[in-house]
Amino acid sequence: MSPLWSGVIRLIASDFPVLYADSLCGESPEPFERAGIMTPYSPRDLADCPECDEPWEIEVLNIKGKDELFCVCPEHGLSPVDPLVLRRWRLHLGPILDRFVEIMGIKGTRTQIVPDMVWKLGRQGRRDFIFVKYCWEEHLKATTAELIKHPKTVLVTITPESAARLSITLPNRKFSLVETTRYDPVETLVVDLEKIEAMIGEDEKKDLKTIPRRTVRIANIERLVAELKEHYRASKDHYFAVGRLLPRPTQAELARRTGLRQNDVSRCMSDPDAKILQLLWQECENEKYVLEKLLI
């Protein structure tokens, strides 16, 4: 994979999707600029000292009637700075998804279903596709609460690590852009359709229609356990603040918090294998249990 493309595709999911000139790895940014994936951003206001490799402020000095840039290192003095190394580009996800959808032959309008995290891309034949941008720990709750409603949809992530993280609780077939796309100086984005088919391809016995209901039920139970653990934490904080626990959430409240249907919550509560869920639910208003529960 092109080092530049690898940097672009991984960085685009960050909170600060800005590429620095030293990440170009000798490649030209022009194809990405033409495609709208990279747009010029304000240049760096610091430069690395060539001696200590630490970033220091830049000073403009007039040398023989010409303004030149220098890195001002308190230990090693002035070092000339090439303006090209200060360049930065803002990265844009939209053009990548547009090109990906076009190559894949996915039809439909891209719709955001979790703000800035999850988009429904559309349908290709019998398959529906959802793109997941963020899979970090702090985003998993909101992300999985929505994705659990779509167990037959193919999930597209940016990195294989994100796909693996989602696999813990979600039965969906999935693949990542890092694994299935590459950079081309002319086309910019090339999608490996054969590899994607190999990763999500339907076989006669296990196609997307036969995802076991039991797998979905287990994922739902895990979602509810996680939500009740969050409730325990909030309840303990509430107790130390005002002297009493929070009331036990109703099944309707749990459904709303987790994105499940209320009858799914009820089925999970009655499941013979949901012992932890049942215990947490039963003891929600037991002051001694909640306050002494060290594993929560």
> What residues does each domain of the chain span?
3-91, 94-202, 214-292
Q: What pLDDT does 202 receive?
A: 53
pLDDT digits (tens, 9 = 90+) for 32-53: 898 899 999 999 888 888 889 8
**Selection from 122, 184, 182, 177 nearest residue 153 by Cα:** 122
Q: How many CA atoms lie within 13 A of 136 on its CB side?
A: 6
Q: What pLDDT does 288 receive?
A: 86
Task: Name the residue with higher pLDDT: 291 or 92.
Answer: 92
Surface-to-core class of residue 270, CB atoms within 10 Å of its CB (0-12 exposed, 13-18 middle, 19+ buried): exposed
User: How many angstroms separate the CA atoms of 69 and 81, rounded?
Assistant: 5
Residue 203 has pLDDT above 70, yes or no: no
Strand blocks (E) in 75-150: 77-80, 88-91, 111-114, 118-124, 127-132
**Selection from 160, 153, 164, 260 nearest residue 208 by Cα:** 153
- SS3 state at 228: helix
- SS3 state at 35: coil
pLDDT digits (tens, 9 = 90+) for 243-282: 899 999 999 999 998 888 888 999 999 998 898 899 999 9
Q: Identify whether the C-beta of residue 224 lies closer than 8 Å to the C-beta of residue 254.
A: yes
pLDDT digits (tens, 9 = 90+) for 100-157: 999 999 999 999 998 888 999 999 988 999 999 877 766 777 788 888 889 889 999 9
**Token reading at 291:** 């306050």
Per DSSP, 107 falls in state B
Residue 188 has pLDDT above 80, yes or no: no
Which one-letter amino acid corresponds to residue 258? T
- In order of 68, 231, 253, the CA distances from 257 in angstroms are 58, 11, 6
**Token reading at 174:** 């999935």
- In order of 45, 146, 147, 158, 194, the CA distances from 117 in angstroms are 31, 11, 11, 11, 27
Q: What pLDDT does 158 receive?
A: 92
Confidence of residue 205 (pLDDT cuts 50, 70, 90): very low
Look-up of token digits 């287990």: 218
pTM: 0.63
Q: What pLDDT does 204 receive?
A: 31
Confidence of residue 294 (pLDDT cuts 50, 70, 90): very low
